[in-house]
Structure formats: structure tokens, C-alpha cells
Amino acid sequence: MANLLYFLKRNTLASLGLLLLVLLLLMVLCLPWFTKLSPVAVNMGQQLLPPSWAHPLGTDYFGRDVWVRVIYGGRYTLAIGAGVVMLAFLMGVSFGIVAGFVGGWVDTVIMRFVDALLSFPTLVLAIALAAAFGPSLTNAMLAVAITLAPQFARVARAQALAISVKPYVEAARCLGVSTPRILSHYVLRNGIGPLLVQASLALGSAILQTASLGFLGLGAQPPLPEWGADVSANLPYLRASAWVALSPGVAILLAVLSFNLLGDALADWFNPRKRQAT
Amino acid sequence: MQAFKVLLEKVDFLPPHRVTDDTSVLTLKNWVLEPLCRWDEGLAKPGLFERWTHSEDGCHWEFQIRKNAIFHDGKPCVAEDILSFIQAILESVDTFGMKWSYARYLAQAQWSSPSPQCVVMDNPFPLADILDILSEFFISRLDPQGQAVLGTGSYRVLEYIPQRSVQLESVGAGSLAFTKLQVLAQEDADERYRALLDQEVDAALNLERMHATWTPDPRAQWQCQTNTLSVMYYLNCSGGLFASELARRAVNLAVNKAGLIEKVLGGLAVPSATVVSPFHLGWRSAGVQPWPYDPDQARALLAQCDGLDQVCILRTPLTMPHQSLAISQWVQRDLEAVGLRVQLQVQEDRPEYAREIGRKQMGDLAIFDSSPHSTYRILNDKISSRTKAVWWQGYTDPVIEDLITRANNAVTSPARARAYGDCLHHLHHHPPWLYLCHPIEVLGLRLGVKGVQLDPKGVIQLI
């Protein structure tokens, strides 16, 4: 812990990322307790009001408080990001670790499929999948998770390949430890570092991609407050009432920035040379 | 399974924020989209709004969106969709480029939504007529091609070629008679009739619009349905001969409507008694019958009027209503028979004709049709001198204003029916218009076809 604090102290960008993330989390988790305004209640008599004390970020076309929608939208957006990464992690790591550990034709089949998925631009693939599944938040999350899973599979395979020839794995085999237990307790546990770095970097991508699908109408559906969908819904009023589209847009920017800064910092943390240099 | 093939005059869904009385478009909209409330002979039934409640004074209304209302692209229908539609329609213009009357009706209404499934309207005065208004609003979304064909109705669009054809498929496990529909456009009514008799299609609508006289050929089955549309003449009440109520009553006696219907319209109309059809709210309570044909009494009434020596300008387009020119020639002849000097003025540009009437350039009388199925709307748009709306032609009568106000303030359905009945009764005896007729629309069906019904709005209902 002392090492981590020292590391953060010396790494300004990591501290900034952590601070941003903590602030965002505090805001989206705690602030809804202090407001009675609903993010979905419409009042057409208060359309597109400019920022004021009553509405710090103004109101949108439906008279809803933009600040409240950004806060509630953060809950959904961050939860979506985390959910998508968990799903991608589970899918990608499961296949990647098996491919790397078992090798042979299993490795070939899994990795060629992963290569095929990686050959598509991720957003294009996500759009195609979301369009095929139908427009809904669950389907959008699934689509983004599928596009992110190959990256986890690649890293997991590399880790499994390296770890599976280590003496302690050989020893476990000789002792008769079952393959699933070796995979979970030896390979995954010892190769988790780069996967966590990948996960933290993927969080930003997941938020961006889900927001992009929401922007295209393939993700979260109105009136659910979600940053990407809100940017899209408020785009027609960008000139006259810039705050309605910019607010959720800035929120996306800050969230993705915080995750990327943390991801970079984690990469340094898990790299012994860089950690020592810091 | 083979698709049920229907021939309509046109195949069009129109832009999403355009309200129409065109029976072809309304038929398609009824199949693919849903109105917020369904109009059923003057009363509102659930549509996309499955139920509603209101305050005792009729100022506060809460509408619940039907559960599981989902657009055909999979997006759930929520209050935002409805409120943005209402907002857009309040800001848009009609087919003639004029601002919709809805902006006036709802000028003081405040719309809100406490939850995605609930729409709330607050108005400073009672507005039970909101139900009539909402029954004209069909909610849609644009498809990727920008066409307003994504609805929540019983059929979804599979393929749509504007102005030509549309393929429809029923949504979900159907209780509907037909799972697939193929709708084709054929502008010429005679051609629609021929195609039906030759069994090229299963149904053809608006056969009353044939150039040749329609005959009920036994090779097909026929449904004839009186329409809510009123064909009438606006009488210029602000000046000239028809500023006099005696003259207005006289012309209602002077025209032989039964003869007109038989000779000009091939029997496909019923004479009208007041400003609305027998299907409108209040008509039954009004207890009125069409004015009789009595040229002698008409002459006697006209004899009491000033300005008989002046030429009456009778304005007419060529279409809308159907056979406008022939009707106008008949009316000219009947009016001349009771001693009036009538000059016929023809305007071939129909949209321009509507705009001219809107600008009160109507001569002394001008043929027109009145299509809204809402009694409230007709009184508000065309009769009330308090609102002086775009179609008002100078008719001023303090008695009717009080009656209209009373009807507008009525909240329950029976009270509204009674109050609007009083308005219609008064307007029958103190006519602002020359009442003519309500057209009968004809739907032709292939022999053996069941589960199809033509309603009074001219819309094909599939049961």
C-alpha cells in the first residue's frame, strides 16, 4: 500500500486520473440523494432553459434538468462500461487462456477466430452486431463486449503460453492438480497483471463505444439517461443551447480520460522496471 | 400464404407531423401506426393511450401509454415520442401551408410526463375535447430512408415504394384476418374498379370517385358507407345577400339535394342537416333532419331580403369535393330558379382555392368540404366568431357562441353530447352554410373475402 501511495505521489497523471475517477464516482453515486428532480420527468414548459442556480447545466428539449441527467447518466454509463469490460474479460480470457495452455488445433481454431474478429474495426463491428441484435442497451453492451473480447484473448493467450512452461506449473501437473485448477490458480493468477491493465484501458473504450452506439440510436433508448444517447438527442439544439449536448459530451471525455490515465499508470505499476524507475 | 392485395388511390404515409383526412393515407396509417385515441362515432376509445383520467373540472388530464407499445424497429414508445410529436405538430403547417389549428386549441396547454409511460396535460380551462384532438395524432418514427413508416400498429412495413406500393406483415401472432398485405396505388378509380372485377386485386377503395357511374356488379361484393365528410357551401355572412339569415335559410330550401344526389352523385351521398355528419358527437342529441326542398318558401323568404338584384358569385374548384363543378352547376340552376342571379367562378388550382377561402375571398358562396371528425374542431375552426379561425366566414351569432362555450366546458361524454347537440340543433335552424350532403364511400371486395369493413371515416378496418 505504501508502495502504491508512493507510486501515485510520483506519478502526477496517475493521481489526476484517480482523482477524476473518484470525483466522478462520488458525483454519480452520492448526488442523486440530494436532488428530488427526476432524470426522466418531462416538463415541456421548461424547454431549453439556460444554466441557472435552479438548473446548473440548464434544461433540455423536454424540460429535464441536464445536470440531473448527467449524474444519473453517469451511473448508467459507468455501470455499462464496467459491465461490458467484465463480459469481454470473461469471454476473452476464458478462450485465450485455454488456447495458450492447450495449444495445438484448439489454439489454432480459437486464435484464427480471434484474428478474424480483430480484422474488423471495432466500432464498425459493434454497429453491425447491435443492428443485428436490435436497438437496446443490453444488445449494445453485448455487441461492444464481443468486439473487446479478442484483445483480452490475445493477452491471455500470451500470458498462458509464457506461464504454462514455468517450473511451478510443471510441478503442479506432476502433483496431479486438475487442468481447470491449474488454469485458474496458477496461470490466471500469475498472469493477471497485464489483463488488469488491458481491462482499465478497455473501460474507456467500452464507455466510448457504448456511447457511440447510443449516439447512433443502437444503444440506450430514451428516456434512459445515458451520456452517448443524450449527446445524440440534444445535438439538434447545439447551436441555440450548447449546454444540452456539451454537458454529457464533457462527462464522457472526463470519464474516458480518467480510465486511460489510470490504465497507463497501472501498466507502469505492473512493469517492475518502470516501477523501480519511478 | 398469399398477400391480401388492396388498391388505394395513393400509397403514402406523408411526413410524420402532417395530419390528413385522405382516406388512402388514413387507411395505411391505421394499419401501420396508431392514433393516440381511437375515434368511434364521436367518442374516444383507447389507442396508443390505453387509458386516461381527468380532474373533475376537465383541466388536468393524465394519459397512460399502452403497455408493450413498441415501434416496429424495436424501440419502446415512451412519453418523449408523443410529446415531441405534439410539439412538432404545433410548430408545423398543413398541406396548404397554413398553420395547423392545433396550435390554437393547445395554446395554453402545459405538457409534462412524470414517468416514461405517462403523459400529462394541464390547461387553464376545461378541455375534454382533447380526446378528439388526440384521435387525429398518429405516432411514427422515421426509418433509415427518412420515411415515417415505423409505427406501433398491427402491421409493419416490409417494403415501401412511395406513391407506388407497400408490403405489410402482421406483427405478432395474429388475430387478424390477413398476415400479409400488398397495397398498390392506382389513381384512376375506373381502373381500380376494373382491376377488382378482373380479380387482379382483393379490394379496391373509393370507387365512388369513378368517372363512369358506379354500379354494384355481382362479380364482387360491395360496402357503401356514409362518410363523416360534409359537402357544403360557405355562405359569405360578412356582407352581401347572405349576411341576412333569411337568405341563408332560403338557399337551404332552394336546392334540391335529393335530385342532386341522384343525378349528379349517382345516389352516393345522403343529405346533411347541420354542420356535421350523423356520426359526429352531438348529432343524435340535436334531433335534426335535412332541410326540405321547398322553392316556394325559398322565394318567399328571399322576397324579404335586400340585394336580390345583385349578382351572386358562386365559387368552385374542379375537385375536392368530388364532382365540385357539376354540383355547383346544379346549385346555380336551383338558385336561379328561385330568382337569384348567380355567376359561376371556377378556380382550377385547388390548393390556391383553399388559400383564397382562408383569405375570405369566397364571393357570395363557395363550395367546400368539412372533414374533421371532431364536432369541437368544426365549431372552433369554422363557426365560432370568438375564435375567428382561418375557415370562419363571418357568421356571427351570440347564441351559438354561448352554446359552443358551454359545450367546450362540458367534461363527461353524455354532457358533451348534449351540449354539442344543442349547438348543432341551433345551427340547423340558423344555418351559416348551405348544407348539401355527406358522400357515401364505396369499397369493393373480391367475392368470399371476410373480415374487412369500411368505417365512416373512409378507412378500411381489418378485423
Domain boundary residue, one of B172, B192, B218:
B218
B117 chain-A contacts, CB cut-off 8 A: none
CB contact under 8 A, B116 and A40: yes
CB contact under 8 A, B76 and A221: yes
Choose the mutation target among B75, B82, B119 for the interface with A, i.e. most A CBs under 10 Å.
B75
Same domain assignment for residues B281 and B385: yes
CB contact under 8 A, A62 and B83: yes
Task: Report ipTM (2 d.p.).
Answer: 0.70
Q: What's the gap in Å between the CA of B64 and the closest CA on chain A?
A: 14
pLDDT of residue A217: 77
Q: Is B280 a member of any domain?
A: yes
CATH no., domain A74-247: 1.10.3720.10
What is the C-alpha separation between B74 and A137, in angstroms, rounded? 12
- The answer to whether the peptide bond before residue A223 is cis (omega within 30 degrees of 0) is yes
CATH code, B90? 3.90.76.10
CB contact under 8 A, A62 and B115: no
SS3 A167: helix
CB contact under 8 A, B115 and A63: no
CB contact under 8 A, A61 and B76: no
Surface-to-core class of residue B230, CB atoms within 10 Å of its CB (0-12 exposed, 13-18 middle, 19+ buried): buried
CB contact under 8 A, B113 and A41: yes
- B305-311 mean pLDDT: 88
Return the closest-CA partner of residue A21 out of A270, A256, A195.
A256
Whether the CB of B73 is below 8 Å from some CB of chain A: the reply is yes
B139, B82 in Cβ contact below 8 A? Answer: yes
Same domain assignment for residues B266 and B415: yes
The DSSP code sequence of B328-378 is HHHHHHHHHHTT-EEEEEE---HHHHHHHHHTT---SEEEEEE--S-HHHH
Closest-CA residue in chain A for B112? A43
Q: Is B398 a member of any domain?
A: yes
CB contact under 8 A, B87 and A42: no
Q: What is the domain range of residue B100? A: 38-132
Choose the mutation target among A44, A127, A133 for the interface with B, i.e. most B CBs under 10 Å.
A44
Same domain assignment for residues B299 and B358: yes
- B142-153 mean pLDDT: 91
Same domain assignment for residues B145 and B9: yes
- A151-178 mean pLDDT: 93
A143 chain-B contacts, CB cut-off 8 A: none
Whether the CB of B87 is below 8 Å from some CB of chain A: the reply is yes
Return the closest-CA partner of residue B112 out of B43, B179, B62.
B62
Whether the CB of B108 is below 8 Å from some CB of chain A: the reply is no
- Asked whether the predicted pLDDT for residue A3 surpasses 80, the reply is no
CB contact under 8 A, A223 and B110: no
SS3 B239: coil
Whether the CB of B413 is below 8 Å from some CB of chain A: the reply is no
Number of domains chain B is built from? 3
Same domain assignment for residues B288 and B236: yes
Same domain assignment for residues B304 and B365: yes
Choose the mutation target among B65, B112, B123 for the interface with A, i.e. most A CBs under 10 Å.
B112
* C-alpha angle B325-B330-B335 in degrees, rounded to nearest 5: 120
Whether the CB of B97 is below 8 Å from some CB of chain A: the reply is no
Same domain assignment for residues B56 and B29: no
Q: What's the gap in Å between the CA of B120 and the closest CA on chain A?
A: 9
Same domain assignment for residues B395 and B356: yes
B18-67 pLDDT, tens digit per residue, is 888 899 999 999 999 999 999 988 889 999 999 999 999 999 999 999 99
- Asked whether the predicted pLDDT for residue A65 surpasses 90, the reply is yes
Q: Is B223 a member of any domain?
A: no
Q: How many CA atoms lie within 13 A of B367 on its CB side?
A: 27
Whether the CB of B319 is below 8 Å from some CB of chain A: the reply is no
- The answer to whether the peptide bond before residue B321 is cis (omega within 30 degrees of 0) is yes
Least confidently predicted of A123-137, A191-205, B196-210 = A123-137
> For A44, which of B74, B75, B87 is closest by C-beta distance?
B87
CB contact under 8 A, A135 and B73: yes
Q: What's the gap in Å between the CA of A82 and the closest CA on chain B?
A: 24
Choose the mutation target among B70, B75, B80 for the interface with A, i.e. most A CBs under 10 Å.
B80
Domain boundary residue, one of B150, B183, B218:
B218
- Asked whether the predicted pLDDT for residue A276 surpasses 70, the reply is no
Q: Is B378 a member of any domain?
A: yes
B378, B133 in Cβ contact below 8 A? Answer: no
CATH code, B195? 3.40.190.10
Same domain assignment for residues B184 and B330: no
What is the C-alpha separation between B122 and A257, in angstroms, rounded? 44
CATH code, B286? 3.10.105.10
Q: How far is CA A118 from CA A140, A149, B76, B134, B223, in A?
A: 18, 9, 33, 51, 62
- Asked whether the predicted pLDDT for residue B96 surpasses 90, the reply is no
Least confidently predicted of A84-88, B95-99, B242-246, B368-372 = B95-99
B263-295 pLDDT, tens digit per residue, is 999 999 999 999 999 999 999 999 999 999 999
B396-450 pLDDT, tens digit per residue, is 999 999 999 999 999 999 999 999 999 999 999 999 999 999 999 999 999 999 9
Band of residue B145 on the pLDDT scale cut at 50, 70, 90: confident
Q: Which residues of A touch B (CB under 8 A)?
A: 38, 40-45, 61-63, 134-136, 217, 221-223
Q: What's the gap in Å between the CA of B117 and the closest CA on chain A?
A: 10
- A92-104 mean pLDDT: 94
Domain boundary residue, one of B132, B161, B179:
B132
Q: What's the predicted TM-score (pTM) here? A: 0.83
Q: Is B224 a member of any domain?
A: no
Q: Is B336 a member of any domain?
A: yes
Q: Is B154 a member of any domain?
A: yes
A214-229 pLDDT, tens digit per residue, is 888 788 888 889 898 8
Whose cell is 482499465? That residue is A200
Whether the CB of B113 is below 8 Å from some CB of chain A: the reply is yes
> For A40, which of B73, B110, B115 is closest by C-beta distance?
B115
Q: B residues 114-133 near A, CB within 8 Å?
A: 114-116
pLDDT of residue B80: 92
Same domain assignment for residues B391 and B318: yes
* DSSP annotation of A45: G
Same domain assignment for residues B70 and B205: no
Band of residue A1 on the pLDDT scale cut at 50, 70, 90: low
- Domains of chain A, by residue range, sit at 74-247
CB contact under 8 A, A62 and B84: yes
Q: Is B275 a member of any domain?
A: yes
Length of chain B counted residue by residue: 463
Closest-CA residue in chain B for A136? B75
Closest-CA residue in chain A for B86? A44
Same domain assignment for residues B111 and B181: no
CB contact under 8 A, B76 and A41: no
